[in-house]
Amino acid sequence: MHMKDCIKTKKISFKYHASKTSVLEAVFARGDRRLSKVLYKAWQKGCYFDSWDEHFYFDRWLEAMEECGLTVEFYANRHRELDEVFPWSHLDYGVSEAFLKREWKKAMNAETTKNCREQCAGCGANRLLERKGGKCVW
């Protein structure tokens, strides 16, 4: 609320939601297949209208996690090494993992990457487009 109170202009809109919702989003954004059991257990406990604040039961989600032998901290609050195999590592979405790691290191050093119109950064997305006969540079 402090941040919201600091905004004195109508040119800036400020949106937020409850931190507990964000924690759960972090868990599922980084989660693996073991969370399917958590989802099912939480559903059995009555968690099914979670986007409505009055129906969001964080404690039931925590119970479901615990009953599955999992923790929020493992998914949402730990440092990950760059050589960790992620749940989504087997997916090919065009952009290479090597590129993402390079970008992460650059971000940690406050370095920027030129936009694609200036210079290709070699993200790998061109492979997908070339298969369809297209190019990714505008």
Question: What residue has token string 């099914």?
Answer: 48
**Contact call for residue 137 and ligand SF4 (CB under 6 A):** yes
Q: Binding marks (x or -) toward ligand SF4, 26..65, rule CB under 6 A? A: ----------------------------------------
Q: How far apart are CA 79 and CA 52, in angstroms?
A: 31
Half-sphere exposure of 132 (CA within 13 A, CB side): 8
Write out the binding residues for ligand SF4, residues 110-129 only, by CB under 6 A: 116, 120-123, 125-126
**Token couple for 25:** 């989003």
Cβ proximity to ligand SF4, 26 vs 128, nearer residue: 128
Cβ proximity to ligand SF4, 21 vs 94, nearer residue: 94
* Strands of 1-138, DSSP E: none
Q: How many CB atoms lie within 10 A of CB 81?
A: 5
Distance in Å, CB of 123 to ligand SF4, minimum: 3
Cβ proximity to ligand SF4, 21 vs 126, nearer residue: 126
Phi, then psi, of 63 in degrees rounded to 5? -60, -45
Residues that bind ligand SF4 (CB under 6 A): 116, 120-123, 125-126, 136-137
